[in-house]
Structure 1
Amino acid sequence: MRVLIVGGNSTLAQALIPMLSAFAEVITAGRSGCDVALDLNGDIDAGRMPRDIDVLVNAAASFGTGDAASICQTEQTNVLGALKLCQLCTTLSIGHMVQISSIFAHLPPQSPFYSAYSLSKRHAEELTRLYSERSGLALAIIRPSQFYGTGPACRKHQPFLYTIIDKVANHENVTIYGSHDARRNFIHLDDVARLIASAIRLKITGSHDCAQLQPVRFSEIIAAAAKAFCSSSQMVFLPGQPDIADNVCPADDTLFRLLGQYPAISMEQGMAKEAAYRKCMQ
């Protein structure tokens, strides 16, 4: 099997590559530092793409901010870029495409976490699904929830979580705005990569969530980190501030049942991995 990963320098792609390499030849594509140069914001020259690809994985994403130019850029990359990759699959006779979406694609407009990114991910799902139905391209859409990993790779997109870890590692208390112990569906990067690799190997199709089935509260994250770092840190509420809202999704284990495997790394185990990593780096 030959797998082309677009967005080959992304955090998820870098975790996915060794998982896929166990059973496939992996080729990366991206704007820089990849095997093949490819920019989703420009024209894709199919003549410069590798041949005999069995699966194309779209792990590229633009996260945007809030201004008009950023929103345009996010739609250009996440939506039109995904459509270009669908067309590339047809041109190169690639039989299976895996579109990496986000659990945020489910967010309604009234959610405080709704953004150009979440909206673009939903647009990309709808457009790639339409293309699949019209063309016969086998398509899998996989929506990871917020993921964290070992080391600094995920810090950019999960700054609040890593601030918590930093404070606990330094034996500082963690202050939480408001008085609500908010919940999240954090899943470990290694679990996400393993599950996506299995979906590729088994040629799964359809739209599927990939999230921890049991959300964790901030207090549970802090407790897991305190245990891993042998820290006395505790959570301290700031009741004079607005509460932090929950950001959770309904439990859906459809993908895991299809794969015959579930997320395996608990928050306690994830924090233990991070503590061990930091100890080795000292």
Structure 2
Amino acid sequence: MTAQQDLTEGRQPSETEPVPPPADTQTTAVRPAKEPSATEPPTETRRPAETDAAETDRPAETVSDEGETEDRAAPAAGGEAGRRPRFTRARVTGALAAMLVAALAATAVLQWVSANQAHDALAGLESERALRLEVSGAAGSFGQALLSYDYQDLQTTRSTLMAQATGDFLTTYDEAFGGAMAQVIVKLKAVSRATVREVYLSDVDEATAHAIVVVDQQVNTAEAIRSVTGSHLKVTLVKEKGVWKVQEVTVLGAAKEDQYNLDGTPADGQKKKD
């Protein structure tokens, strides 16, 4: 045995001497799990199934900070994208509701305007109709009064007609009826009955009017019977103090005129009265 062998054998460890751990390396060393200290909260231990499910649901993360930011922003972007359709539908619904309200309001306004216009038009027609009826009544009443008389009560006839006349016609009629006309009526013992057949109106306004009055007349005297059919009187009316009065009269003629004896036989060879 040499001195080198003795040295080597002297450096070999004995069986009872502990073996020191090998030095740490970067590739094979495994550090023991760190025991939690009393101050640190215990780490939650997840079951394998929960871990796998969580890792499956969670999007893949990258090592870089930018990738981690993008991964974290991805769910938020997805949530915003998911909410966007609901926000769009709400806006469309609101716009449709506003358009519907505007349409209903416009329809209501148009109906109100149309109703007012219709009411005004109807009121105008009613006013015009009432005016024409008033003028027609005045003209017809005058025509009947002009051709009706009774020799036994000429004053009543005269007063009735003069209340419906004015202007030049009133002056002319008063002079004629108070003179020769009245004497002839009394002498013949004439009684006249007039019936108004038609009244035609032309120009009518609030102050003046023109009309054609068609009258049938029968005059009974002490000598004969005279029948006049379709006498046409053209009259001009004016409104004085709210009352329509005749200002001018023109006799246009009659459609037919017949004369009979008191026994009903035609006078002067005319056909016998039916």
TM over 0.5: no
Q: Which has the higher strand share?
A: 2
Greater RCO structure (CA 8 Å; 6+ sep): 1
Pick the structure with greater CA Rg: 2
TM range (shorter): under 0.3
